[in-house]
Structure 1
Amino acid sequence: MFRDRKDAGEKLGAELAKLQLHEPVVLALPLGGVPVAVEVARALNAPLDLLIVCKVGAPGNPEVAVAALVDGEPQDVVLNREIIETYALDDAALAALIRAERPELERRRLVYRGNRKPLSAAGKTMVVVDDGAATGMTIKVAIRALKRRSPREIVVAIPVSPPDAVADLAREADRVVCLSQPGQFRALSYHFLRFPRVSDEEVTAGLTEAASRHVIRYGGENPPAPAPAPT
C-alpha cells in the first residue's frame, strides 16, 4: 500500500532510474497521474508533459468507448473497431460522435496546458504515468496514439494494477513498470492510505513546478506562462 500519490511517484521514479532510459520524457495522464508523474520526472531529471485522452462514448451508453481522442500535434483519433461494429455505426454516425467530443478535449487542453505545446515524441523515450490501471484501457489508447509519433521507446509506469491488465499493457508498450500487481484488485483507492481527488489547480501547479526544474524551449526563448486558472 502506498501512502499517497507522491509516495507512489517516488518509488516509481527510483525503479525507473535504474533503467537508464534514453532521453526520457514523462507524460502524465490527468488528473490522478500528475502528482505521480511529478515525482517520476524529478527522479529522472526529465521534462514533464500531459497526455490528455477524451473518451467517445457509444450512443445511449457513454461509458462504452467507441473511440478516443488523444491531444497532440496532430490530434489523434483511436478507434475501437469491435465496439463500432457492435453498435453498427456507419462513418457519418461515428464522425458525429467524435465531433461532439472535440470541444471537451479542447477545454481540457486549455485548462491543463494553456499555451504550452505538446513536447515532441520523436526519438525520445516516452514514459506514460498514471496513478494505477484497473483495466488499462485509457493507457492502451494513449500508447496507440504515441506510436504514431515515432518515439524511440514507450514505457508505462504505474504504481498498481491487476496482473491481467499489466499483461495487456505489456503487449502494447515496449516496457511496463508496475510496482504492485495484487491478485485481489478492487478500486485504486484501496491501495493508497490517502487518495483524494486531484484538482485542476494541482495539475497546472505540478506542470509549472516541473517546468521550473527542467527548463524546456517551447519554440520561444522562455518557458510558457502557467495555464490560466479554470473558471
Structure 2
Amino acid sequence: MFLPNDVIEYLAPQRTVRVLWIDRARALVYTFELGQPYAQPCAETLQAVAGEVLARRARLLLHDPYAAPPPAPLLPQKHRDLQARAWAIVHSLQAEVPALYDARERAALVARCAETHGVSRPSVLRYLRRFWERGQTPDALLPDYGNSGARGKTRGANEGIKRGRPRKAGQPPGLNIDAATRVTFRTAATRYRVTHPAFSRRGAYRQMLDEFYRDRDPGAVPSFGQFSYWLDKDGSGAAELQR
C-alpha cells in the first residue's frame, strides 16, 4: 500500500518520483519526478504504479534521499523568516489540492497567490517545487544552511566506531544512527500514524522492524531506545502521542 510522500524508483528508464497525493477511492495518484528542475505533478492510476512495483520494474525506496534534513538547532532568524514567508504561500496553495496538481488550474492559482502575497510567479513555483521535492513539510522550505560545528550539532558517524552508551556483554555492538536511518525512523512513525487510530511508539517500532529491517543481523538493527530518542530529537514524537 502506498502513502503520500512515498518515494518510488523506476529502473528503466531510470527516474525517481514522490507520491504527492492519493484520492480517497485509491484510484488516482499524483506523482512528482525528483531531481528535475522543471518537473510537474503527473497523474497516474494507482493500479499502474502498483503494477510496476509488483513487476519489479520499480521499487519503493526505504530511505528518502531527497527529504529535507532536520533543521539546525541554531537557525538564523533570517532563515526562519524566509521559511515562514514561503510556508504561508505554499500552505495557502495546499488548500487547493487536488486542483493545484492540474496544470491549468495551477497556473491560475499561482497567479492569484503571487498577487496576494506580493511575489513573482516564478518565486511561487520555486517554493512549490522545493516543497514537493524535499518531502512536503515546512522544513523543506528552509534555506540550505551549512552548519560548521555549531553548539548542538549532531556528531557524524565514523565507520567501525559505535556512538553512545556501550552495549552489555554478549550483546551485538549496535547500529550507528546516520541521517538515512533517521529518515527511516520518521517515515516509520508517519506510516504507523496514518494506518492506526492511536499512535504507539512500541507498535511503530515493531512495524518498522518488519517493514525495513526484516532478515537483518541483530547488530544491524536499531534499538527501541535509539528509535524513541531520535523521534524526540527530530520532532517526530509529539508529547500528546501515546508511548
Q: Give the structure-2-normalised TM-score.
A: 0.26
* Greater relative contact order (Cα < 8 A, sep 6+): 1
Name whichever structure is richer in strand by fraction: 1
Which one has the largest radius of gyration? Answer: 2
